[in-house]
Amino acid sequence: MGVGNLFVLFSDSLVFASSEVLCRVYPIIDITISAPPGSMQFYPLILLSILPCCFAAGTLTVVIDLNEKFLDVMNEGFWIVKFYAPWCAHCKRLFPVWEHLGHAVNDKNLPVRVAKMDCTRFTSVCNSLSISGYPTILFFRQGLRLEYTGERSKEDLFNFVVKSSAPIIEKINAVRVNDVSLPLALLYSNSFSMAWRFLIQNTLEFFLEGLESWIMAERWPLMPRASGVNLRDLATTKKLLVLVISNEVRVIFIGLKARGAAEDLRKSQYLWSRYQFAWMDGADIVSTIVMNSMEAPNIIVLNYTTYEYFLNEDDPEKVTRGSLVTWLSNLADGTEKGTATPLGGRSLLTRIRRIIFELYMNVTQMFATQPLLSSVLFGMPIAFLSIISVCYLFFLTLFFGR
């Protein structure tokens, strides 16, 4: 075209190619330009078109923008993908977190590609993946698909990526025969005939059932952090949830007492099989459950399945490790015998009260955080209805007066 050694790339790749991406992939570009005499005035234009690319390369994103080609490669390797819509407020808040996640994964050299897809542009892809809400975060592991439902913080997302990309079964080479202290192993080492008498025949079925129930009951740490996202998962232990209501500043005071009580309960199989400890930052979720304004610090025992709960009558500020263990022990005996009376529940009347309370709390929170916007939002309809009512009364008086 009159300009020598000028190459144009037409890309049908997975990502949307841009000058920034091109400049990052090829940071050193050797361009030799030959042109007819008198065409030197075009050189500044060419340089001006290249320089912004190279200056922008220092702040490039490591998050891949996907298109419809993703369906062809989603089963190859590891992917974590955010499906979003530009108008979604939650998606906008997640954007900087997602960028930080991409850099964290890239810095650790994990074999995971961090990507995003605009579902308003590629509707067919999102429909084929059954994306119904935004944002939806999916991890693709060589044909398997995992949905992320945890906290949308960089730390939690990064931990999810690390765990999801790790080997399914980790090989442990440090275990030796002499380290095993089970009686059956000792009998087997001394007398094979005696060990055979104690052997369970259908071991596989028995082992799998017991292993699954044990993993579900013991999958959580001693006292994890609970939130609206993982509260349902905590309830899969089929235990009563001992929720310590506090905040990140004061959790050290009441949290240490509750953690000590959890350590004491762990020594008793009877008590540990009934309780799962957790702590919550703030009392908003618990206030909705009990339909009353609760303040931190506080402790509540919750049956998430039935929404029934028990409250400790002791002052949360004065509760001790020993008194907490005593209360939970008595509560376990009471629930076992049916003498403990729970509060709350899921009856029809209770559900209606809970809906009204949630509406009241949401409106109150709106006026507390955005008073001007809330006044306009609620004031305009009220003012409009008031004007209509006044006009209606005026015309009634005008035509049917006296």
Contact 139, 164 (CB under 8 A): yes
User: DSSP string covering 57-101, please?
Assistant: GGG---SEEB-TTHHHHTTSSEEEEEEE-TT-HHHHHHHHHHHHH
91 among known catalytic residues = yes
119 among known catalytic residues = no
β-pairing verdict for 225-226 and 78-84: unpaired
What distance separates the 2 farthest-apart alpha carbons in the chain?
113
Q: How far is 224 from 280, CA to CA, in rounded Å?
A: 9
Q: How far is 238 from 220, CA to CA, in rounded Å?
A: 12
Contact 64, 14 (CB under 8 A): yes
**Structure token digits, residue 2:** 């009159």
Residue 239, φ and ψ in degrees, nearest 5 = -115, 165
Contact 34, 5 (CB under 8 A): yes
Q: How far is 31 from 127, CA to CA, in rounded Å?
A: 44
| SS3 label, residue 311 | strand
Q: How far is 142 from 135, CA to CA, in rounded Å?
A: 22
Q: How far is 62 from 191, CA to CA, in rounded Å?
A: 61
Which of 88, 119, 126, 391 is catalytic? The answer is: 88
Which of 23, 53, 54, 91 is catalytic? The answer is: 91
Helix axis angle, 321-337 to 251-266, nearest 10°: 50
Q: Strands of 298-303's sheet, edge to edge?
A: 225-226, 275-281, 240-246, 298-303, 308-311, 343-344
Q: Strands of 78-84's sheet, edge to edge?
A: 64-65, 112-118, 78-84, 136-141, 144-147
Question: Which residues are designated catalytic?
Answer: 88, 91
